[in-house]
Amino acid sequence: MNAHRLRVRQLANRLFLASAIAAVLSTGAIARERTPQPLAPQLKMPAQMTGKVIHIDDGDTLIMLDEQGFKRVIRLSDIDAPETSHGKSRPGQPYSAKATELLKALAHGQHAIANCFDIDVRKRDDGTQRDRYVCQVIANQTDVNLALIDAGMAMAARQNKRYVRNPATYWHEDAARASRKGLWQQAEPIPPWLWRRACWEQGACAQSGN
């Protein structure tokens, strides 16, 4: 009987010890998950970044993993691509999917150089800050910004002079329009900056599509 009680007590001790170890490990895992990741230090403009393009957000925005291991959100300078869909209340524009696919073909997975002119700083709804670097991106010796204009997959960003740093953007846009490439095949293509105002803010989305 005493031997039986001893075995039961030893088993209970083992179970208690195992539970305690599991609790400690779980607490450590939760602490690691809650530990904030270091923020990428903001670069002084103008600046040049090099790294790998790891994500394409839409036709004029991508994410680069720079040489220091930081993720940088880059908004292509000079151009404005058709807006992609952001839910039922914010439908996308015609050619938005094609513009995104072209940017993927040009830059995704590639080692690239970003010549940056400015930082677009905005506050999100949750109060956090979003930094986007406004840059010319070169991938495979191709000026990605101008390549999108040449294919008719973006317009010169006339709504914001901060974005247009290369005067050649206007000439390339004129050539694409004259050749009716991409979005210029439409009778009256709506500039993305007007689309955001008319469709997303006022609900006038007559030409929505991908």
130 Cα distance to chain centroid: 11
- For the chain, the structural domain boundaries read 47-201
pTM of the predicted protein model:
0.77
Q: What would the two tokens of residue 94 be?
A: 């015609």
The pLDDT, as a whole number, for residue 18 is: 52
Structural contact between residues 202 and 100, judged by C-beta atoms closer than 8 angstroms: no
Give average pLDDT by consecutive 10-residue segment, the chain, 210 residues: 58 54 47 53 94 97 97 96 80 91 98 96 74 96 98 93 88 98 95 84 68
CATH architecture of 47-201: Beta Barrel (2.40)
- CA 131 – CA 52 distance, rounded (Å): 18
Residue 105 belongs to what H/E stretch?
helix 96-107
Q: What is the pLDDT of residue 198?
A: 77
Q: What is the pLDDT of residue 115?
A: 98
Give the pLDDT confidence score for residue 35 in this predicted structure. 46
- pLDDT of amino acid 183: 97
Range list of β-strands (E), 39-161: 47-58, 61-66, 71-76, 79-80, 111-123, 129-139, 142-143, 155-156
pLDDT of residue 208: 59
Residues in the chain: 210
What pLDDT is stored for residue 197 in this prediction?
A: 82
Q: How far is CA 90 from CA 81, 87, 94, in A?
A: 15, 5, 13
56 and 148 Cβ atoms separated by less than 8 Å? no
